[in-house]
Amino acid sequence: MTADNQLFGLGGKVAAIIGAGSGIGEAVALGCARQGATVRCLDVDREAATRTAETITAEGGAADAARLDVTDGAGVTHAFDDIVEQHGSLDVVVCTPGVNVRKRLVDYTDDEFDRVVGLNLKGSFRVLRAAGRLMTAQGSGSIILFSSIRATVVEPGQSVYAATKAGIVQLVRTAAAEFGPSGVRVNAVGPGVVTTPLTVQIQDDPDWHGAYAAKSVFNRWARADEMVGPTLFLASDAASFVTGTLLMADGGWTATDGRFTPPGM
């Protein structure tokens, strides 16, 4: 039997990776290119996106870069239209950016609420809306948003962030139902704690860092590149019948009820 080496490949596909300038987005952009996709690296930091694109081209891949702020609805639409105009299609969209303000509910300000919801939830909505219009018209495509373990479990100080990550899952499910008849799949990835610029505050606190590591059955944090495999699976034809799902990539965080091992086990 001959192995199907193209099952997880992205050859011939055009991918837009939002947040490609650092962290998970950067790792996913590199991963998509290494699987054969032509990649548009998008980030609010144009220089960072350009560095990622240059890394891809230095490896022999195809990539370019542009600035994108997902809080700008017209900008999101223009960015995707430009990709289609230049490359002829938009086959994969991955959206990774997020922001968190860690405060108890009673201390949250309206402006902080609006900031977190505006980027995490409304930004994801804008991406879904713009990509969905193009992909349903072309009759194919895969959209992958980034949710979190906080869509299902919380801790003090995570109220608004958690609400946005749960909201992303419901947006994904609704988009999957609406776009599916046109051949478009929509899914979410739910990371646990990942070593990225977003989690520097926790990484710098040994007790906090250690407590989070202990929540994984592997007793460690995830690397950004460990989010690439789950994302590529959802982007590829290997997931041709997968839509409306939240794929947890959390090292067992949400699967285990504490880390105590009973005697004799």
Catalytic residues: 161
Hey, what are 2's tokens? 């001959």
Token representation of residue 121: 């939830």
Instruction: Locate 107 and state its tokens.
Output: 């201390």
- In terms of Cβ atoms closer than 10 Å to its own Cβ (0-12, 13-18, 19+), residue 10 is buried
Q: Which helix (H) or strand (E) element contains residue 247?
A: strand 246-249
Task: Give SS3 for 263.
Answer: coil
Closest CA to 26 of 96, 90, 92, 75: 96
Identify which of 189, 187, 211 has the alpha carbon closest to the alpha carbon of residue 199: 211
- Token digits of residue 154: 């919380």
Alpha carbon 234 to its chain's center: 11
DSSP 231: H
Helix (H, G, I), strand (E, B) or coil at 253: coil
**145, 168 Cβ separation under 8 angstroms:** yes
Sheet holding 38-43, edge to edge: 62-67, 38-43, 14-18, 92-95, 141-146, 184-191, 246-249
Residue 223 DSSP class: P
d(CA 103, CA 250): 23
